[in-house]
Amino acid sequence: MSRDLIIVESPAKVRTISKFLGKDYLVEASVGHIRDLPVKELGVDEENDFKPEYQTIKGKQKIVTQLKKAAARADQVYLAPDPDREGEAIAWHIAEVIRGENKNLNRIQFNEITSRAVKEALEHPRELDENLFNSQQARRILDRLVGYKISPILWKKVKRGLSAGRVQSVALRLVVDRERERQAFDPEEYWVFKSLLGGSGGDFEAELWKVDDKKPAIGSGEQAEALHSEIKDAEFRVAEIQEKERKRQPKPPFITSTLQQEASSRLRFSAKRTMSTAQRLYEGVELGDRGTTALITYMRTDSVRVAREAQESAREWIKDKMGPDYCPPKIRNFRGKKSAQDAHEAIRPVDPTITPEDIRSYLPGDQFKLYSLIWSRFIASQMAAAVFWDTVVTVKAGKTLWRAKGERITFPGFLAVYKTQDAEKATQLPKLQEQEELELKELSKEQKFTQPPPRFSEASLVRKLEELGIGRPSTYATIISTIADRNYVHIEQRQFAPTELGCAVNDLLVNHFPHLMDAGFTANLENDLDTVAYGKKDWGELLREFAAYLYPSLEKAKENMAEIKAGIETDIKCQECGRGMLIKFGRNGAFLACSGYPGCKYTSDFVRDEKGNIQAVERKEQELEKVGTCPKCGKDLVVKKARTGSRFIACTGYPDCKYTQSFSTGVKCPREGCPGELVERGSKKGKVFYGCSEYPDCTYALWDLPVKKECPECGSPILVRKNTKARGEHLACPEKGCNYRDEEEEE
């Protein structure tokens, strides 16, 4: 007996869907895309209207064979990849591959993986959306043209391994431009005055609000001292008390971008970590007696729309668990942005009655934290407003006016479920009377300086990309990962700072591809892709328009782009020979090298000050730490870093003394009978690993840091420290077949 076939993207969905469809359907997974443009060539016929040349992705042939066999045995084939452009493209390519085995092909999609949603989708199949596929295809070809045409120019002019991207390069420009704003910023001095005042109801703090009925403009210590002397003996009296009730409404449930921003600020999750965790919650998690259960709706969306039954379910939970006062009279509906595609619901729990605490024991740390965030935001979105009693006290002292603000929560409303940081900082003022004389208990003044615009955090960069209409929420995680992976930016205190390489690449691209690096141009291109998806623009026409700009710029860049492979000139002089120093780009970042190389081999690290000026770092400052005495010459031994990223120990007497030794982890090699210990090494690609000091006699090696601790399950003499997306940092056994991990360490 033949069965209908459903093809989804991931094996996790296979388990979830098979559970409630039973034996009537066969469910198979494509494991993402099965076809794409070739890796080592452009794969686009530029002479034939940009016709793409698709091929089976390496390693996917077995999956393609299995899908063909399953399709040949099925009555109907339902293509059910994710409900977005990328999912439509996956479905389209699967259809192209299996059409010879079965022509009864239908497209289905569902926003949540539940029995009701999947069965409803099966009752309402549709044709493949050619316009949506063409939009994805045009995006893929645009990205391929930019990447494969511009990147080789950067290889030739700067260094190999670099890349340019239609969206990533604009994101890089935002980071670089912000850094230069900071460097050009001139701080201005100002002074802040505060007073601690005592009244009939108690003490409170007030801040200087006005001087001579104008905003304070105290720009020097002399002005501050003069004002301080003038008001320290003045009479402080309550001039006015304003009180009013204020309501704060809850925010809408999450969309992709707001989820990434909130997970970044509250949970310190990267966009990539957020999306991979959300993917697992969407596809299904094993919940004991409940079996494999999908917990959230589809996580790639820009719509705040919510299904009626989900709203009603949330309201019932609120009435039952929180009380009727916490449930507003009417269902809350939210208005999204005009540009929202509104193809899917907002991100919400599939079943609002499943609270995070109900399933805490089944979820790894990341999944529990993210589900808690999504669940509480959604439940809060259907709750009553929070009510505050605001108080503003104005105090007069001589020619100055002072203000103190307080707020008191009279009804928490949605804040009972979804607390905000500002609500937690609410302060309450003592009871006061107008015209009441106050005691000045303390008068303070503090010098401050205006601050430059902050660097982008991951959350603020996502917010800026969304605001400018650059990329799409589903692509933000990839964009941010790419500019970091290419070493164009690095992270300092959870903020993005451009590297020397990032600045150099940005400047070259801005000079030679100004349209491509323009946020407005990129946003308009996104709008054009949407127009293709709606069937209002031909995808070939879009590509021809883009090529008309790109190709002339490419030719000019090949000819005129400055070559900085040999280094970028600076004003710094070599300490050994006096020649000019050059900025060069090595495997581990930028450094200064003498322009007299190979005659002079002097190199140095460098930093930039707040204004962006280069300051060389003396060699002795580059040494990480002293660790002993050289056994050959008696000079100090220091820890240094190899070009491959691993540490080693070297004599400070170099080049006269060339003594070195490996950097030991202090963990003995676990191979029986081996006298060696595990030391840091670096791979050719710059990745640190840990190998036996007796190499090549002993080839034992690990990618993870070894720890001298015995595995209680298999007896391995060592464990390794891992940091995974699912569990965070924890200890685990490195032996194959042993699944031990240190739960206590993980906590």
* Residues marked as catalytic: 298
Tokens of 557: 């860049």
Cα distance between residue 585 and residue 359, in whole Å = 50
CA-wise closest residue to 207 among 391, 405, 398, 399:
405
Q: What is the DSSP string of 146-200?
A: HHHHHHHHHHHHT-TT----TTHHHHHHHHHHHHHHHHH----EEEEEEEEEEET
Within 8 A by CB and 6+ apart from 535, the residues are 131
* Omega cis (within 30) before 696: yes
Cα distance between residue 646 and residue 113, in whole Å = 45
Q: What is the DSSP string of 517-545?
A: T-HHHHHHHHHHHHHHHTTSS-HHHHHHH
Kindly report the number of other CB atoms within 10 A of residue 101's CB atom. Answer: 15
Inter-residue contact 296 to 280 (CB < 8 Å) = no
Cα distance between residue 94 and residue 101, in whole Å = 11
Task: Identify residue 305 by its one-letter amino acid code.
Answer: R
Identify each DSSP E strand in 543-602 by its residue range.
Answer: 568-573, 580-586, 589-594
Q: What is the 3-state secondary structure (H, E, C) of 226-286?
A: HHHHHHCCCCEEEEEEEEEEEEECCCCCECHHHHHHHHHHHHCCCHHHHHHHHHHHHHCEE
Tell me phi and psi for residue 601, to 5 degrees: -105, 20
- As to burial, measured by CB atoms within 10 angstroms (0-12 exposed, 13-18 middle, 19+ buried), residue 568 is middle
CA-wise closest residue to 590 among 581, 599, 579, 598:
581
CA-wise closest residue to 14 among 5, 582, 543, 491:
5
Tokens of 744: 């206590």
Within 8 A by CB and 6+ apart from 559, the residues are none
Kindly report the number of other CB atoms within 10 A of residue 425's CB atom. Answer: 8
Inter-residue contact 367 to 281 (CB < 8 Å) = yes
Pairing mode of beta strands 705-707, 719-724: antiparallel
